[in-house]
A and B are shown apart, each in its own frame.
Chain A
Amino acid sequence: MKSIKFWVGAGGVAHHLLVCEKPSAAKKIAYALGGRGVGRIGRGLPFYRFQKGGDTVTVVSALGHLYIPVQQCKGWSFPVFNLVWKPASGRRAKLFLEEIARLAREADSFISACDYDTEGSLIAFMILRNACGGADAKARRMKFSSLTRDELLRAYESTSELDMPVINAGMARHEIDWIFGVNVSRAMMDAYSCNTGNFEVLSAGRVQSPTLEALCRRENEIDLHVPDPYWTAGAEIRFPSSGETAKAEYSRNPILNKAEGEALKIRCAGSPGKVRRVEEAELTVPAPHPFDLGELQGEAYRVFGLQPWRTQKIAEGLYLEGLISYPRTSSQQLPPSIGFRGILTELGANEAYKESVSSILNYADSGRGLWPRQGKKSDPAHPAIHPTGIKPNRLGADARKVYDLIVKRFISTFGPPALKSSKTIEVELEQGDVFTIKGEAVSDPGWMEHYVPYVKISSSRLPEACEGDAARAENVRVEETFTDPPPRFNQSSLIKFMESNGLGTKSTRAEIISTLYRRGYISGSSIRVTGLGRGVIEMLRKRFPDLVSIGLTRDLEERMAGIEEGREDYSAVLIRGAEAVRDAFGHMISEFEAVGAEIATLVGEIKDQKNKIGMCPSCKNGELKIVRSRKTGKRFVGCSNYGEGCSFSAPLPQKGTVKATGEVCRACGYPTVLVMGGWSKPWRVCLNTKCPSRVKG
């Protein structure tokens, strides 16, 4: 590595050390501040150095959190409350910290240049305090919402003191989550281990458990749903004057009696009538407001089917490229200080947005001014997500989609309202039954034309009809239908649910959902709670009711937000969290054995369920299961009726994971299994050794 002595200015010249959150951000910040004079030093762990205003500036990167809370003393026990912040484990983290500490010894001024949010503030604070010899006391903070040159220069020139309330809020969140997660997970694993002598990874968390509990409640409502019947009637109405027909709905839908529906059908079929009322109206649809993170995740899920965690990751990548503003924001508002015209003009240089931008600027110059539609939510730290105007070079397919969505949404917020015209025609039949024809069309697309293809500009043509015109009902239909169960959550609706119930933060929600998938507690894109997830929640409900309640989590979230806003004291909130865990354990420890037995039953049931393959094709009433030979230790498929004389068995591959498919072989009707291993694609295997279709699936 090049000697840094070469760079250090002599005699009274300041040397600033800028601590950034990630290597890519460090690079961006260094080149934005230092321009062509930046020197990149080192290979694996590069840092950047340049001269600015006669001072030396060194830009160094962290790797996200380099300090994490851990148990103070060694040992596996619970409940534990004595935690300390220590360097994260791993060779890379150690190398980064050693390098930062070395560079800190040569600096006399320190600046936190991590992302301007709770996590970023905490990352820099821990490094400054621990690796830079207590430099947090004199460090300054750069506050920025995008990695553009102008904004970074402004942030560098106008640093402020470290945002201690935000840092304290971040510390409290990590410490409370540690106390909850470590203690409840250890309690569950210990209880299981004491009961069975085996070990199983089980986890619970302060936000994870109430979220899973809410999913279980929904699952329960779906399982207990009793559909009620009702009927809806409709007809085709023909207007003899024009010869046109239109679909109409019965005005008194739903019909709550089968006989009434049948009578209506007989009464109305072919019945003449006349137009009773024609109503036309115009509806204004205002431009959309800009995205906050939750809305962006919801919209990307709706239009591209992207999972929220993926959208968040892509948006963070676009931010690090300097293409969009900081995405972890709750704001739906854009302040004029971001420079609306400048961004739009730069976007207009891109052929894809040229026409939209020119139309928006013309609209603004026609006297309306350049004002975006603002949403209700605000965030003191960052504006709503918006493009910076920098033209992207090369983006992956998904990143290109998300970028396009953000740009089009941003442009649309400046657009004029869209106008929709609606028409309602009411037709009264001879016997007094009324059918209604409704239609809607976009008469002026306004902002909508800038948001295509993410909004559909619909139009439906309705027949021309006047009051008193003759009409006739044709093809009268009465359809039986049933009440639906509550809808299953998907990742997008679950994030919205978590947001409205104060579960987690904008940055953590997507990750918490991913954890639930990883633990095997939930599955599917239309989320189902697995047997394991349901069992864990049933046990937690019984033993730690407070820990699965949305109330406690929401209360703690509000208190942590209070620390950030200076309303709450860090220590008091931490004590409140620790007390909640302590109280829950007082009850649980007295029933430790029972808890262990419950978990053992649960894990046993799950394992048993996992081993089931399907019905035995030989005896027709036994169940096929994966069993291990006591003699050889090898696994194979055997029938549960083995003791009663069924000798069916089938060999299995000895490597990889074997999973039941729940399907039978198309060629021979035997059950099939999926064999998964890291060495190849999953294999679908028929249990019939003589089946001709034993091919890769």
Chain B
Amino acid sequence: MKCKICGKMGEEVEEGKEMCNRHAEAERRLREHFKVWAERTGLGWQGYLEAIVKNERTGTLVKETATYLLQNG
């Protein structure tokens, strides 16, 4: 199975998952931080992802994952 974001294959992509371990971790962190954003800004999931993609402090992996989720979410 290939990672849907970076195309990496093999043991880095767990059975039944569509992302490699690093992008899966980025997605986990994105979902975890959404609670903070929702509470502080009142943004919905879509608006949150857009803000994350635009933010210059966002990590590369998180940005890639957020972009993927926006396009395929």
A-side residues, CB < 8 A to B, are 220-230, 256-259, 482-485
Q: Are the CB atoms of A223 and B41 closer together than 8 Å?
A: no
B55 within 8 A of A: yes
- Assess whether B55 is in contact with A223, with CB atoms less than 8 Å apart: no
List B28-59 residues whose CB lies under 8 Å from chain A.
29-30, 32-33, 36-37, 39-42, 52, 55, 57-59
Chain B, Cβ-Cβ closest to A261: B40
- In the complex the two chains form, is A225's CB within 8 Å of B40's CB? no
When the two chains form their complex, are residues A226 and B40 in contact, meaning their CB atoms are under 8 A apart?
A: no
What is the CA–CA distance of A482 and B62 in the complex, to the nearest angstrom?
Answer: 15
Cα distance A136–B37 in the bound complex, in angstroms: 70
* Complex: chain B residue closest to A220, CB-CB: B22
From the candidates A220, A223, A256, name the one contacting B40 in the complex (CB within 8 A): A256
Assess whether B37 is in contact with A225, with CB atoms less than 8 Å apart.
no
* C-alpha gap A226/B66 in the complex (Å): 10
Q: Please tell me if the beta carbons of A229 and B57 are within 8 angstroms of each other in the complex.
A: no
Q: A256-B40, A259-B42 are in contact. Are A226 and B52 (CB under 8 A)?
A: yes
Residue of chain B at shortest CB distance from A230: B40
- On whether A228 and B59 interact (CB within 8 A), knowing A258-B42, A259-B42, the answer reads no
A228 adjacent to B26 (CB under 8 Å): no
Would you call B57 and A223 a contact (CB within 8 A)?
no
Contact indicator A223/B59 (Cβ below 8 Å) = yes
CA distance A258 to B25 in the complex (A): 28
Q: Are B42 and A226 in contact (CB under 8 A)?
A: no
Please, which residues of chain B bring their CB within 8 A of the CB of A224? 22, 25-26, 29, 59, 61-62
- Cβ contacts under 8 Å, B25 to chain A: 224
Judging by beta carbons under 8 Å apart, are B59 and A222 in contact? yes
Residues of B near A257 (CB, < 8 A) are 39-40
Q: A227-B57, A228-B37, A229-B40 are in contact. List 16 more A-B contacts (CB 8 A).
A: A222-B59, A223-B61, A224-B59, A224-B61, A225-B58, A226-B30, A226-B33, A227-B52, A228-B40, A230-B40, A256-B40, A258-B41, A258-B42, A259-B42, A482-B57, A485-B59
Main SS of chain B's interface residues?
helix
How many interface contacts (CB-CB < 8 Å) are there between A and B? Answer: 53
Q: Is the CB of A485 within 8 A of B41?
A: no
- Chain A residues with Cβ below 8 Å from B29 are 224, 226
In Å, the complex CA distance between A556 and B41 comes to: 51
Say which residue of A226, A483, A484 sits within 8 Å of B62 (CB atoms): A226
Find chain B residues with CB under 8 A from A223 CB. Answer: 22, 26, 59-62
The residue from A225, A256, A259, A482 contacting B59, defined by CB atoms under 8 A apart? A225
Distance in Å: Cβ of B31 to nearest Cβ of chain A:
10
* Contact present for B55 and A482 (CB under 8 Å): yes
With a CB–CB cut-off of 8 A, which chain B residues contact A230?
Answer: 40
- CB pair A227–B58 under 8 Å, yes or no, is yes
CB contacts (< 8 Å) of B41 on chain A: these are 229, 258
List of B residues within 8 angstroms of A227 by Cβ: 52, 55, 57-58
Smallest beta-carbon distance B59→chain A, Å:
4
A258 and B55 CA atoms in complex are apart in Å by 17
Contact between chains at A484 and B61 (CB < 8 Å): no
Whether A485 contacts B57 in the complex (CB less than 8 A), given A226-B30, A226-B52, A228-B33, comes out as yes
Closest A residue to B28 by CB, please name it. A224
Q: List 13 A-B contacts (CB under 8 A).
A: A221-B59, A223-B22, A223-B60, A224-B25, A225-B57, A225-B59, A226-B32, A226-B33, A227-B52, A228-B40, A229-B37, A482-B55, A484-B57
List residues of chain A with CB within 8 A of the CB of B39: 257
Among A223, A226, A485, the most chain B Cβ lie within 10 Å of the Cβ of A226
Name the A residues within 8 Å of B52 (CB-CB): 226-227
Q: Residue of B at shortest CB range from A598?
A: B10
For the complex, give the distance between the alpha carbons of A470 and B61 in Å.
52
Cα A507 to Cα B57 with chains together (Å): 36
Most chain-B CB neighbours within 10 Å: which of A221, A223, A230, A483? A223
A307 to B32, CA, bound (A): 40
Hey, which chain A residues are within 8 Å of B30, CB to CB? Answer: 226
Are B61 and A228 within 8 A (Cβ)? no
Given contacts A224-B26, A226-B30, A226-B33, contact A483 B40 (CB under 8 A): no
Q: Which of B39, B41, B42 has the most CB of A within 10 A?
A: B41
Residue of A nearest to B64 (CB): A223
Top 10 nearest A-B pairs (CB, nearest first) are A225-B59, A227-B57, A226-B33, A223-B59, A223-B61, A223-B60, A224-B59, A228-B36, A258-B41, A226-B29
Residues in B neighbouring A225, C-beta threshold 8 A = 57-59, 62
Chain B residue contacts of A482, Cβ below 8 A: 55, 57
Q: Which residue of B lies closest to A258 (CB)?
A: B41
CA gap between A224 and B25 in the complex, in Å: 8
- Contact residues of B between 2 and 36, Cβ < 8 Å to A: 22, 25-26, 29-30, 32-33, 36
CA distance in complex: A258, B57 (Å): 19
A485 CA to B33 CA in the complex, in Å?
Answer: 14
Residues of B within 8 A of A229 (CB): 37, 40-41
Residue of A nearest to B29 (CB): A226
Min CB distance B63 to A, Å, is: 9
Shortest beta-carbon distance from B60 to chain A in Å: 5
Residue of B nearest to A538 (CB): B12
Chain A residues, Cβ within 8 Å of B32: 226
**CA separation between A482 and B26, bound complex, in Å?**
18
Alpha-carbon distance between A423 and B26 when the two chains are bound, in angstroms: 45
Write the chain A residue with the least CB distance to B11.
A542
Q: Would B40 and A258 count as touching, CB distance under 8 A?
A: yes
Bound Cα distance A223, B66 (Å): 13
Q: How far is the CA of A176 from the CA of B52 in the complex (A)?
A: 47
Task: Provide the bound-state CA to CA distance between A229 and B58, in Å.
Answer: 12
Q: Which residues of A contact B55 (CB under 8 A)?
A: 227, 482
- Separation of A386 and B39 alpha carbons in the complex (Å): 56
Q: How far apart sit A484 and B55, CA to CA, in the bound complex (Å)?
A: 11
Docked Cα-Cα span, A631 to B58, in Å, equals 47
B59: chain A residues within 8 A (beta carbon): 221-226, 485
Q: How far is the CA of A482 from the CA of B40 in the complex (A)?
A: 12
Interfacial chain B residues near A259, Cβ < 8 Å: 42
Distance A228 CA – B42 CA, assembled complex (angstroms) = 13
- B60 cross-chain contacts in A, Cβ below 8 A: 223
- B62 to A, closest residue via Cβ: A226
Q: A531 to nearest B CB, angstroms?
A: 12
The listed residue with most B CB atoms (<10 A of its CB), out of A227, A482, A484, is A227
Closest A residue to B55 by beta carbon equals A227
| Chain A residues whose CB sits within 8 angstroms of the CB of B58 once the complex forms | 225-227
Which residues of the partner chain A approach B36 to less than 8 Å between Cβ atoms? 228
- Assembled-state Cα–Cα distance A222/B26 (Å): 11
Report the separation of the CA atoms of residues A227 and B53 in the bound assembly, to the nearest whole angstrom.
11
Q: Nearest residue in B to A484 (C-beta to C-beta)?
A: B57
- Chain B, residue nearest A601 (CB): B10
